Amino acid sequence: MNFEFSDEQNQLRDQAQSFLNDNCPPSKVRAILEGDEPYDKQLWQSIAELGWLSTVIPENHGGLGLSYYELVVIAEELGRVLAPIPFSSSVYLASEAILQFGSDAQKQKWLPRFATGEAIGTFAFGEGAGRPSPASLTTSASGDTITGTKYPVPDGDIADVAIVVTSCDSGDGASLYLADLGEVQRDGVSTLDPSRSHARLTFDSTQAELLGSAGNGWGMTNQLLDRAAVLFAWEQVGGSQAALEQAKAYAMERYAFGRPIAGFQAIKHKLANVYVKNTLARSNCYYGAWALDENNAELALAAATARVSATQSFYFASKENIQTHGGMGFTWEFDCQFFYRRAKLLSVNIGSESWWQDRLITAYEQSNQADAA
Amino acid sequence: MDFNDTPAEATFRQEAREWLEANVPSADDLQGLDEIGRAKLWQKKKYDAGWACIRWPTEYGGRGATAIENVVWGQEEGKFNVPGGVFAIGQGMAAPTLMSWATEEQKREHLPKLASGEHIWCQLFSEPAGGSDLAALRTKAEKDGDEWVINGQKIWTSGAHYSDFGIIVVRTDPEVPKHRGLTYFFLDMKSPGIEVKPIKQISGGANFNEVYFTDVRIPDAQRLGAVGQGWQVSLTTLMNERAAIGGGSGGVGFSRVYRLAQRVTIDDKPAIEDASVRAKLADWYCQETGLRYTGYRSLTALSRGETPGPENSIGKLVGASKLQDMASFAMDLCELSGAVQGEFAEEYGMYPGAYMGAPGGRIAGGSDEIMLNILAERVLGMPQDIRPDKGIPFSQIPTGANN
């Protein structure tokens, strides 16, 4: 039994944590949240230089060729500091899509540019309110052009290229297209978490290139979502842990009735319950990381399990962090809001808790476990 | 990360599995024996072959195995439906306390009989006035020559009615602060003056008892630790208690309730197709795997020769409430017949029993609230509560009408 990170991976965690403590303090998150800049360009440049963007990209495409364990370590640390950069869009979604489904030419064209941060990629999936399905897609493809509106697209305002989910008359009802966003109309979309930017992309007979084969887009989308779910879950667990630490630190310092509020059982039990949810989520994320790295048949179930429990733990940790701070937690001046905003953004960005609960049971039904039970 | 055994673990697992396959008692072997008889038969068989209490040193009846080997053994034995349970307190709690605090002679006398199943032990800690606040206990012991005379009452004593020995903590000095006036002994449960009265539980069973002590005599030689050191000795027992109790599912786990949801219907379709049913089941699946994989992380620490962190203390806390909620939900799935018990096949009729047993799981071995205190204080490092009884002689601590 070896269900732990290696010494080298833990060393990477320490380095990442120390780098981010210096280079991504809460004031940086606040600057993006309050300002006009869509993301922290300096931080983006620095992490590109550290090679984080290229962690799992093979060496022949300009990457480091490391495992997904290294990538989840970085994801957790970026989640902990709520990094205001397009890491998830470019790494978990765009790079992953091209790595998994791209042709050699597509890989050669895009992966080296994603690896250096020279290009930013994203995934254009949603088309407004409601749970997407192949039948709900209105963005369509004709030959090598696509037409339709996608929103909200994370980092759609700054990305160079997007993987776009379109409808398709054949196969599973959808296709994936790679579209250069240079000429595409982009309008900013405001969300509850302005530390991460979003846009509405309007494609109007825009030149685009098929990714994978036509009519396989829904299957590929779901595979991509499973992979991204594990990576996002690690971000969520990092955020949960940081919110717990913030709540505890405040409770130890804040006095009421002549003593630290951390001594009151109402606060102790609240934070112990946060710890319990975080621990269960973290352990589920371990399993998700294993299934992702092995790329085995367990992935769909492991990803949904990690996603559901990490979504729940981050929401719970972030809301109870505000309550632990009392009135101060509700002020703009305090940083508690950052976790609360990010927790909700991450709980809907690749599908809601209830969608993933449903995916979990479906994955269970399709796994060997259901037969064995 | 991988889930494979090391070569040494694999060899050990193979050896354990082969012995179990050849030696697990058949239904015929157990014919005509009661629960205790069955458990004793299996325990003796393991003991004779060197497979009892394998973590213990060989001179005390064990095998001298490592912590991870003990886990591997537990996994392999757990694959068979073998009798057990009645030795959990003696082997899991009394024995570690004896190992830390008894004389060498006492260890050689008692530990092998615990390992072989010859003797069953019980734990006499809780009292009507001392549960979560264990150190508030009142049963008193007064010295008389080389003996102590015990008077008072214990409660919630599992298995007192069939135990041979017991571990007990009593008050030897009411004039000092409560934690300092306690002393710890072990005693023969056949001693004159002990009266055991079963307590009927809301689940209908009667696994635990009230135990009354009237001038019961214990030799001073059976004292563990110094006079007044009983609290420290108790902590040795309590640290092992949560490990011994763990987070049992009571048979109501995800896969069972999932199968139930396949069989019963909502709007003429299998209940499992209903979105709200799927959502609830998904949450319990996450809890179940979260606990399992947390266990894997602890095993990894053991496998590397490290001491596992405190993560595992969440097992009982999460598991007990989960069992309660799942039993309640399973009855809901049965709709109008949900409350009926005993008339259906087991897959439908077991839930009322699980529901009625579940509150006990949230109390035994430390209530939910005590577990949360432990997590907050020992894991998160938050301060202890202010204690109005701190530093005050036990005899002057206020008490209420209910204790």
pLDDT digits (tens, 9 = 90+) for B63-72: 999 888 988 9
Separation CA A91–CA A114 (nearest Å):
8
Look at residue B252 in the predicted model and tell me its pLDDT.
Answer: 85
If you measure CA to CA, which chain B residue comes closest to A285?
A: B290
CB of A309 less than 8 A from some CB of B: yes
Residue ranges covered by each domain of chain A:
7-119, 122-214, 218-372
State the CATH number of the domain containing residue B229: 2.40.110.10
Amino acid at A196: R
Look at residue B299 in the predicted model and tell me its pLDDT.
Answer: 81
CB of A279 less than 8 A from some CB of B: yes
If you measure CA to CA, which chain B residue comes closest to A260?
A: B383
Strand B147-158 and strand B140-144: the pairing is antiparallel
B241 is catalytic: yes
Q: Given an 8 Å threshold on Cβ–Cβ distance, is A2 in contact with B384?
A: no
pLDDT one-digit tens code per residue, A164-211: 999 999 999 999 999 999 999 999 999 999 999 999 999 999 999 999
Q: Is residue B109 part of a domain?
A: no
Report residue A303 as tokens: 């990803």
CA nearest to A163, candidates A79, A91, A62, A66: A91
Q: Are residues B234 and B296 in the same domain?
A: no
Q: Around B349, how many Cα atoms within 13 Å sit in the side-chain half-sphere?
A: 7
Q: Are residues B207 and B273 in the same domain?
A: no
Last residue of some domain: B205, B239, B273? Answer: B239
How many structural domains is chain B composed of?
3
Q: Given an 8 Å threshold on Cβ–Cβ distance, is A268 in contact with B1?
A: no
Last residue of some domain: B55, B84, B113? Answer: B84
Q: Is residue B335 part of a domain?
A: yes
Residue B400 clears pLDDT 90, i.e. is over it: no
pLDDT one-digit tens code per residue, B41-82: 999 999 999 999 999 999 999 999 988 898 899 889 988 888
**Which comes out higher in pLDDT, residue B93 or B302?**
B93
CATH code at A218-372:
1.20.140.10
Domain span at B24: 7-84
Last residue of some domain: B210, B239, B268? Answer: B239
State the CATH number of the domain containing residue B272: 1.20.140.10
Q: Which member of A248, A286, A287 has the closest CB to residue B380?
A: A248
Amino acid at B21: E
pLDDT one-digit tens code per residue, B86-104: 999 999 999 999 999 999 9
Is the Cβ–Cβ distance between B146 and B219 less than 8 Å? Answer: yes
Q: State the complex-level ipTM.
A: 0.96
Q: Given an 8 Å threshold on Cβ–Cβ distance, is B314 in contact with A287?
A: no
CB of A361 less than 8 A from some CB of B: yes
Among A5-9, A273-277, B214-218, B245-249, where is mean pLDDT lowest? B245-249
What are the DSSP E strand ranges found in A47-96?
A: none
Q: Is residue B370 part of a domain?
A: no
> What is the torsional sign of CA B192, B198, B199, B201?
positive
Residue B245 clears pLDDT 70, i.e. is over it: no
Q: Given an 8 Å threshold on Cβ–Cβ distance, is A280 in contact with B294?
A: yes
Chain A neighbors of B68, CB-CB under 8 A: 1
Q: Are residues B231 and B286 in the same domain?
A: no
Report residue B360 as tokens: 């006990």
Look at residue B347 in the predicted model and tell me its pLDDT.
Answer: 65
Look at residue A371 in the predicted model and tell me its pLDDT.
Answer: 60
Residue B255 clears pLDDT 60, i.e. is over it: yes
Pick from B75, B303, B311, B380 the residue to mutate for testing the A interface (most A CBs within 10 Å).
Answer: B380
* Catalytic-labelled residue, pool B69, B76, B127, B241: B241
Torsion (CA) A181, A187, A192, A194 in degrees, nearest 10: 70
Sheet-wide strand order for A198-207: A140-142, A145-154, A198-207, A185-189
Q: Are residues B250 and B151 in the same domain?
A: no
Q: How confident is the model at residue B85 (pLDDT cuts 50, 70, 90)?
A: confident
CB of A263 less than 8 A from some CB of B: yes
pTM above 0.90, yes or no: yes
Q: Are residues B40 and B62 in the same domain?
A: yes
pLDDT one-digit tens code per residue, A228-244: 999 999 999 999 999 99
Q: Which member of A2, A272, A308 has the closest CB to residue B375?
A: A272
CA of A277 vs chain B CAs: smallest distance (Å) = 9
CATH class of A7-119: mainly alpha
Helices B275-303 and A265-294 sit at what angle, rounded to 10 degrees?
80
CA of B9 vs chain A CAs: smallest distance (Å) = 9
Q: Which member of B2, B68, B385 has the closest CB to residue A263?
A: B385
* Fold held by A122-214: Butyryl-CoA Dehydrogenase, subunit A; domain 2 (2.40.110)
Separation CA B107–CA B85 (nearest Å):
22
Residue with tokens 């509850």: A192
Cα B110 versus chain centre, distance:
20
Q: Is residue B40 part of a domain?
A: yes
Q: Is residue B99 part of a domain?
A: no
Look at residue B247 in the predicted model and tell me its pLDDT.
Answer: 45
Q: Are residues B259 and B342 in the same domain?
A: yes
Q: Are residues B175 and B151 in the same domain?
A: yes
Q: Are residues B250 and B356 in the same domain?
A: yes
Q: A-B interface: how many C-beta pairs under 8 angstroms? A: 154
Q: Are residues B322 and B258 in the same domain?
A: yes
